[in-house]
Amino acid sequence: MTARQENLPSPLHVPDDRYLVGLIGAGITASLTPPMHEAEAAALGLTYGYRVFDLIELGRRAEDVGPLLARAKSSGFAAMNITHPCKQLVVDIVDELDADAEHLHAVNLVVFDGERLVGYNTDWMGFRDGLVAGLPGASFERVVQIGCGGAGAATAYALLSHGTDRLDLFDVDDARAEDLAARMRTYFPAQTVATVARRGLPEVIAAASGVVHATPMGMLHHPGVAFDVDLLREGAWVSDVVYRPLETELIRQAARRGHPVLDGGRMAVGQACASLQIITGRLPDRDRMRRHFHALIGAEERPGAPGSSQ
């Protein structure tokens, strides 16, 4: 047995009334998902443990996600959350894909169902539920999205699932925006999905009923604002997927100008809530989870607390 293998849990047997869940990804030791899951499970009266499998600490590559899943399954885990850089790799490992995960070609939750591995994507669910709860009465007639990477795929899918009439996509990589637009058109043929060049971005933002920001800009180590908030028309809403910090400069500027805003915490809580419900079959209290999430973020942002961008 190598030193790397010794860092993995030994096989164990978990009683039927208990849940052991994990998270696989790189640079995730500061993830807020474990405490969110454990606190809400405890409030629901469940015996629930959550373990982190950080690829960097384990000395593993992203391609090792398959063996890690197999070891977790044999060790009695009920499910594993999956994050960067493994979400696409897991698509080809699981035995069955939920339809939405198949459409997004990304998995962030693997449930061990007997001998089968079933893959789900709760990122898009988290964003969709955030739209419903956080922007009541908002117009989705025409939405602009900036960023078409992994998070952008989930937000675009959620927006179109929620009924957005027209979605304009922008990315610094034109090919990435075109690829996402083509995929979304396949699943939402009755809605308009277009791409926009940088020179045309100000015009489409000015015409939009809402703007979604889905890039790392605004994170602790990636400061800045992705677009000029003064371009927004009156009443247009703004959503950011970044949640560290919870109040990004984009959210701050938009709120100061009187625009409805949706911070990235809604998506983070929503995906955790959906995962917990799929794993346990119990309905979590979303508001309670959000209060706990805000307490965790608040503790991080106190003077002297170690910062993190994960």
DSSP-derived letter for residue 222 is: B
As a whole number of Å, the CA-based R_g of the chain is: 20
77: left (phi over 0), alpha (psi -120 to 50) or beta: beta
**Model confidence over 41-68: pLDDT tens digits?**
999 999 999 999 999 999 999 999 999 9
**Residue 157 structure tokens:** 């899918």
CB atoms within 10 A of CB 258: 10
The pLDDT value given to residue 304: 63
Positive or negative: CA dihedral 125, 130, 133, 136: negative
pTM: 0.90
Q: What is the dihedral of CA 68, 74, 75, 76, to 10 degrees?
A: 120
Binning pLDDT at 50, 70 and 90, where does residue 221 land?
A: confident
pLDDT of residue 15 exceeding 70, the answer is no
Quick check: 207 and 147 in contact, CB under 8 A?
A: no
Q: Which residues are CB-neighbours of 181 under 8 A, at least 6 positions away?
A: 169, 193, 194, 195
Residues belonging to the active site: 87
What's the pLDDT score for residue 6?
34
Domain architecture of the chain: domains with CATH? 3-121+268-301 (3.40.50.10860), 124-263 (3.40.50.720)
Under the banding of pLDDT at 50, 70 and 90, the label for residue 102 is: very high
pLDDT, tens only, 143-202: 999 999 999 999 999 999 999 999 999 999 999 999 999 999 999 999 999 999 999 999
Mean pLDDT over 239-266 rounds to 97
| pLDDT tens per residue, range 273-288 | 999 999 999 999 999 9
Q: Confidence band (pLDDT; 50, 70, 90) for 25?
A: very high
CB count, 10 Å around CB of 227?
A: 18
Identify the pLDDT of residue 302.
Answer: 73
Instruction: Please tell me the least confidently modeled range out of 9-23, 194-208, 281-295.
Output: 9-23
Q: Which of 9-23, 27-41, 67-81 has the lowest mean pLDDT?
A: 9-23
Mean pLDDT of the chain: 92
Residue 303: the pLDDT is 67
